[in-house]
Amino acid sequence: MTFANSNGAYDLEKETAPVVFVVSTTGDGEPPDTAVPFVRRIKKKTLPRERFARLCYALLALGDTNYANFCNCGKTIDKRASLQELGGKRFYATGHADDANSVPPLKENQHEVQISRAVPLTRHDSVKAALLIELDVSDKDLPLQPGGVFDVLCPNNGSEVEELLQRLKLGQRRDHCVLLELLKDTRKKGKALPAHIPEESTLQYVITWCLELRSVPKKALLRSLVECTTSGVEKRRLQELCSTQGSADYNRFIRDPNICLLDLLRAFPSCTPPLSLLIGQ
């Protein structure tokens, strides 16, 4: 039985060298496209039990615990290949890597670099814009290798940060330290302090580096803003926009025109949310 990857195909029945599977899960617990034929073949009930008697393998399953079927494809292959089913022997314990628990970037490895080129790859009317971004790292001593990964941290625009500080009436307290704690009575699933906000950051730092000010406000955010709005008319409009009946209006006035938090606050002048609400969202 062959298993194909980008380096070619392996015959798992004849392979005598140790085999390492690294496989992710996509869709709703589905194998990635390139693994679909293999998974279909390995699942056949008619396969003899000793089919992989010679196989010596290890498996690393890639997944994300935010999805219901965590590492499902890896688990399926591992179960079928194992001694209990098709006779393969593990030479190393199976690993389940969780994208939701990726290690946050290390501060000491941060570099400030210039963008040397930015080219739009999508048409202006596409739902999501994609850009080709070139970063000039020529004068940095970066230990980059093929297959390596780096994160890009973009600060929010300075004038937008200033506007939000003023709007939250926190301009005078911009250098104060922000102390993050979980609400004692929160029933939120998977509750955790956001790992990307360093301890002992200042207010200005958090708003500049740790909040996404340009993303389109979700309905849940609109819902929680209702409580922080004093004008009755504005309250009602916010309630409409986040209701099921108001979906068309939400799409027309918020999602399609790519409204951001500051646009929303400008349109609802009596709304003054606490910073904690914005961080929570």
Ligand X SMILES: Cc1cc2nc3c(=O)[nH]c(=O)nc-3n(C[C@H](O)[C@H](O)[C@H](O)COP(=O)(O)O)c2cc1C
Is 224 one of the binding residues for ligand X (CB under 6 A)? no
Is 60 one of the binding residues for ligand X (CB under 6 A)? no
- Shorter beta-carbon distance to ligand X: residue 63 or 88: 63
CA neighbor of 71 nearest in space, from 90, 97, 94: 97
- Pick the piece of the chain touching ligand X (CB under 6 A) from 25-33, 189-197, 198-206, 243-251: 25-33
**Spatial separation of the C-alpha atoms in residues 238 and 221, rounded to whole Å:** 10
Is 227 one of the binding residues for ligand X (CB under 6 A)? no
Q: Tell me which of 4, 5, 20, 27 binds ligand X, using CB under 6 A.
A: 27
Is 62 one of the binding residues for ligand X (CB under 6 A)? yes
Is 151 one of the binding residues for ligand X (CB under 6 A)? no
As given in the structure block, the two tokens for residue 73 are: 């494809």
- Pick the piece of the chain touching ligand X (CB under 6 A) from 57-65, 161-169, 208-216, 237-245: 57-65
Which residues make Cβ contacts (< 8 Å) with residue 30, sequence separation at least 6?
Answer: 36, 72, 73
Subset of 190-219 contacting ligand X (CB under 6 A) = none
Dihedral Cα 93, 99, 101, 107, nearest 10 deg? 120
Is 72 one of the binding residues for ligand X (CB under 6 A)? yes
Q: Decide: 52 and 88 in contact? Cβ < 8 Å.
A: yes
- Pick the piece of the chain touching ligand X (CB under 6 A) from 36-44, 60-68, 82-90, 169-177: 60-68
Q: Tell me which of 9, 37, 99, 111 binds ligand X, using CB under 6 A.
A: 99
**Spatial separation of the C-alpha atoms in residues 209 and 199, rounded to whole Å:** 13
Burial class (CB in 10 A: 0-12, 13-18, 19+), 42: buried
Q: Which residues of this chain interact with ligand X, rule CB under 6 A?
A: 24-29, 32, 62-64, 67, 69-72, 99
